[in-house]
Chain A
């Protein structure tokens, strides 16, 4: 179902998710964002890719956690001294938090990469600027052909023995020569293509970009929910609900009205996970068991 969802809805939803993640400093909010992102990525891409991404994530967090105390010497709880520098617990954990923010954002961008394939990017651009949409779709259609042609030209040069014992610079030169040949081959073809397009009426006014995505009821619901929840969470965060600080020492986390913002975030960030699991369960249930 997510594959059939209107790209603009999905972009709007992910936009809010990424913004909320970037604005939050509270460890609970960050934890929610990180876990939901990983969960969705796992559902979409499988366990193996998720583990690879988690590996990068841990390295990233570790690097920033190590670097941060070097630059910030604030904080009350001293852990140890390295020469002149004091390393504080606050600075260390602040580094971890910054690492988690950007790790989570990159995981959510990974989700975006899966959900918004090139087709949908063309659709989004085509809605607002048809010319750019056309450029994107033509370029995406052409470049696999160019790679094939590039390999052909390159193999010819190899067959001529030009690569044998060539230095690095002359290898680069040969690659550029191949690219230059590719340009000669491609540009005239492009003009033919454009004349074909003109003959089929591309120059006429009122053209639109074709997209197989329609705006259905499900899109409307998801759009309204993500707008309402996303904006209200951002507004409440701006008003100071669920705020958190690291310096001079940690703010105590109290369970007052700010629980609602955690709950809202949890619901908001897991909408796509729930939809996916629900669809999977439905599929299992409806599958013929004969």
Chain B
């Protein structure tokens, strides 16, 4: 039974990570008008779908669904609390901690839904699917790397630095495509240079929040996990 579940998960990951590049290549080859802005938005929306469907099909019970909703609400609150400070937000840290505590699947849903819901207040735009994808993947890989293992704080800090850079780099790809309608390396370099202060703020905020939050939050969430018997990842993946 467990092997079958593992196989199922493996097939899902292969599909998710093979379909996306295939779509990109197909779009570039076959689309008559080379409109990369539209293409990139379609791809971002499509990339979100397998993860959300995987969550929908998984055997999560009511407690887990509600706990994810609570984490989403807390993440949105944390983004609103720090609204006066530009880019200095604990969202990435919250998503990473959720991923570590509750597993990759819950991390993805928390990241993606926090982006969607907080953009109701910060303004929806073509960037929403990209933010959903970025924060979702950050939570997802946090779960895969650290969930159910002994947490080394330095590794988490390293991961948070990496994800701050990743977030900025991916969002810059979108900016370049949006301005030029093609991908232009010169312009990408310029945009990256211009966004270095933002990357620095992302990195500093992620490190600060991870250092302050990880210990108390993990203690509380692990206790909840044990007390109410939720997010036992072997059970979910069946």
- A interface, CB within 8 angstroms of B: 19, 22-23, 64, 67, 71, 98, 102, 105-106, 109-110, 112-113, 118, 121, 129-132, 134-136, 138-140, 142-143, 146-147, 150, 169, 172-173, 175-176, 179-180, 182-184, 186-188, 190-191, 193-195, 197-198, 202-203, 237-238
By DSSP majority rule, is chain A's interface helix, strand, loop, or mixed?
Answer: helix
Docked Cα-Cα span, A22 to B39, in Å, equals: 10
- Of A113, A150, A190, the residue contacting B67 (CB under 8 A) is A190
**0/1 interface trace, chain B 57-86, chain A, CB 8 Å (1 if under):** 000111101111110111011101110000
A–B complex contacts, Cβ < 8 Å, 6 sampled? A113-B120, A131-B55, A135-B109, A139-B72, A146-B73, A194-B67
A194 CB contacts on chain B under 8 angstroms? 62-63, 65-67
Question: Given known contacts A118-B117, A191-B224, what 18 new A-B pairs fall within 8 Å (CB)?
Answer: A22-B35, A102-B178, A106-B125, A113-B120, A113-B124, A131-B56, A132-B113, A135-B65, A136-B72, A139-B70, A143-B117, A150-B77, A150-B81, A179-B78, A187-B67, A190-B66, A190-B67, A197-B62
A129-B56 contact in complex given A22-B38, A135-B109, C-beta closer than 8 Å: yes
- Of B69, B82, B126, B212, the residue contacting A142 (CB under 8 A) is B69
- Of B72, B77, B120, B212, the residue contacting A147 (CB under 8 A) is B77
> Which residues in chain B, 196-217, are within 8 Å of chain A measured between CB atoms?
208-209, 212-213, 216-217
The answer to whether the Cβ of B226 comes within 8 Å of any Cβ in the partner chain is no
A190 CB contacts on chain B under 8 angstroms? 66-67, 69-70
A173 CB contacts on chain B under 8 angstroms? 212
Contact indicator A136/B123 (Cβ below 8 Å): no
Docked Cα-Cα span, A179 to B89, in Å, equals: 13
B181 CB contacts on chain A under 8 angstroms? 98
Contact indicator B120/A135 (Cβ below 8 Å): no
Contact indicator A202/B52 (Cβ below 8 Å): no
| Tier of interface size on chain B | 35 or more
Docked Cα-Cα span, A112 to B116, in Å, equals: 14
Contact indicator B216/A180 (Cβ below 8 Å): yes
**B60 shortest CB reach to chain A, Å:** 7
Docked Cα-Cα span, A129 to B108, in Å, equals: 15
A132 CB contacts on chain B under 8 angstroms? 52, 55-56, 109, 113
Contact indicator A182/B74 (Cβ below 8 Å): yes
- Of B52, B66, B82, B120, the residue contacting A197 (CB under 8 A) is B66
The answer to whether the Cβ of B10 comes within 8 Å of any Cβ in the partner chain is no
B220 CB contacts on chain A under 8 angstroms? 180, 183-184, 187
The answer to whether the Cβ of B186 comes within 8 Å of any Cβ in the partner chain is yes
A238-B33 contact in complex given A142-B70, A147-B80, C-beta closer than 8 Å: yes
Docked Cα-Cα span, A102 to B209, in Å, equals: 34
- Of A71, A113, A135, A198, the residue contacting B69 (CB under 8 A) is A135
B107 CB contacts on chain A under 8 angstroms? none
Among B62, B67, B90, the one with the most A-chain Cβ atoms within 10 Å of its Cβ is B62
Which A residue's beta carbon lies closest to that of B68?
A135
Contact indicator A176/B90 (Cβ below 8 Å): yes
B80 CB contacts on chain A under 8 angstroms? 147
> Which residues in chain B, 216-238, are within 8 Å of chain A measured between CB atoms?
216-217, 220-221, 224, 228
